[in-house]
């Protein structure tokens, strides 16, 4: 007989950590991270900027000026709070919705747009930006993160590798394999599962019988944390703590952030009204990470409408410049793709390259 009380006790171990409630008031002083006023304002600036970027990216997609795009509104606290806890030398292995983390880690905005358009230059990280391109294959980045983290460990680096997937990604075999290997070899890795309640149209309760994704860490012998993903301070604190553990040789951490995406899964035809009610979205909008943090900062006298408007205008101007640069980027050619695939071309591709080069010169 299975003792169900054991299951209940396990679930009780993974209470959701929250610092700010929906009214922007501190409800857990112990979990409040040590951040300066300037750092707090920078977090807000980044969230507002990213929300504008999301709105404009959706518009550009509808105009046909961008290609693949996965909306991010609602997940800013989860994405940006986690990235803010990193150092420049740390590695980011994102999923396809995690372009904002790359941008704030150093990826130029026009390159993010090139990635959306499927241009190979959008996948080329600039020197000094420690990141891989956004992964399209669900949860494949989990295994890659373990590999990079082990490489950092072997080189004696005091840095970490962090990766992101959604609740649906936790159902993939790569998820368990990557976590298990990282745990077995004590890799300096952080695995963030952004539980936005729906893997495209599949609700999280149909993904797993477990009450939390964080508790899956038990099976591979690593710490698991569950945080309010609409609370940027809670997310920052969780990732900062996980990073400290990792560089101190204490191994990987699994972090589940409870969040919500307001828009469709991607702009490629998904209709969230077919599987989500308006009432559910309205409930989550009351927990909006920007509104919550704005109230907190205003209460401390650190934020104003004028400051927010300035950020909005700056974001619009940056996007305007970046999309112009994107539009002016030469279209990729077949010969480009052949040239960047191999250092030394095999004979059959040499023939194909010569053929395409003749066609492209006409």
The residue written with tokens 């609700």 in the block is: 203
DSSP for 290-333, written as a single string: HHHHHHHHHHTT---HHHHHHHHHHHHHHHHHHHHHHHHSPPP-
Active-site choice (105, 110, 261, 276): 261
Q: How far from 88 is each of 112, 130, 226, 346, CA to CA, in Å?
A: 18, 8, 25, 38
Burial pattern 249-285, b for ≥16 Cβ within 10 A else e, equals eebbbbbbbbbbbbbbbebeebebeeebeeeebeebe
Cα gap 239→257, rounded to integer Å = 10
Tokens matching residue 265: 């899964």
Cα gap 283→188, rounded to integer Å = 37
Is residue 46 annotated as a catalytic residue, yes or no? no
Is residue 119 annotated as a catalytic residue, yes or no? no
Inter-axis angle of helices 76-84 and 37-62, nearest 10: 130
Burial pattern 54-90, b for ≥16 Cβ within 10 A else e, equals bbbbbebbeeeebbebbbbbbbbbbbbbbbbbbeeeb
Active-site choice (110, 245, 265, 294): 265
The answer to whether the beta carbons of residues 288 and 75 sit under 8 Å apart is: no
79 backbone dihedrals φ, ψ, rounded to 5°: -75, -50
The answer to whether the beta carbons of residues 143 and 132 sit under 8 Å apart is: no
Active-site choice (262, 275, 353, 356): 275
Tokens matching residue 81: 């709070």
The answer to whether the beta carbons of residues 187 and 155 sit under 8 Å apart is: no
Is residue 261 annotated as a catalytic residue, yes or no? yes
Positions annotated as catalytic residues are 261, 265, 275
């Amino acid at each position: 007989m299975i003792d169900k009380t054991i299951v209940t006790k396990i679930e009780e171990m993974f209470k959701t950590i929250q610092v700010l409630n929906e009214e922007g008031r501190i409800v857990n002083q112990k979990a409040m991270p040590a951040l300066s006023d300037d750092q707090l304002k920078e977090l807000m600036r980044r969230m507002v900027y990213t929300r504008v970027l999301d709105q404009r990216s959706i518009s550009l997609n509808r105009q046909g000026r961008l290609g693949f795009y996965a909306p991010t509104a609602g997940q800013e606290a989860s994405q940006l709070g986690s990235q803010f806890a990193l150092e420049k030398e740390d590695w980011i292995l994102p999923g396809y919705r995690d372009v904002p983390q790359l941008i704030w880690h150093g990826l130029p905005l026009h390159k993010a747009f090139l990635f959306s358009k499927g241009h190979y230059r959008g996948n080329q990280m600039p020197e000094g930006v420690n990141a891989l391109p956004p992964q399209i294959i669900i949860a494949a980045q989990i295994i890659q993160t373990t590999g990079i983290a082990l490489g950092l460990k072997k080189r004696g680096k005091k840095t970490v590798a962090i990766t992101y997937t959604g609740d649906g990604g936790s159902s993939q075999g790569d998820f368990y394999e990557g976590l298990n290997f990282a745990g077995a070899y004590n890799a300096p890795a952080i695995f963030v599962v952004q539980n936005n309640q729906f893997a495209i149209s599949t609700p999280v309760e149909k993904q797993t019988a477990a009450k939390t994704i964080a508790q899956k860490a038990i099976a591979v012998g690593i710490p698991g944390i569950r945080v309010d993903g609409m609370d940027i301070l809670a997310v920052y604190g969780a990732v900062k703590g996980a990073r400290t553990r990792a560089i101190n040789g204490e191994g990987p951490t699994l972090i589940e952030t409870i969040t919500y995406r307001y828009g469709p899964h991607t702009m490629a035809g998904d209709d969230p009204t077919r599987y989500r009610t308006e009432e559910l979205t309205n409930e989550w909008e009351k927990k909006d990470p920007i509104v919550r943090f704005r109230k907190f900062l205003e209460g401390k006298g650190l934020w104003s409408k004028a400051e927010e408007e300035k950020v909005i205008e700056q974001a619009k101007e940056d996007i305007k410049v970046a999309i112009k640069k994107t539009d002016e980027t030469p279209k990729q050619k077949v010969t480009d793709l052949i040239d960047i695939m191999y250092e030394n071309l095999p004979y059959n591709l040499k023939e194909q390259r010569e053929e395409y080069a003749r066609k492209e010169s006409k």
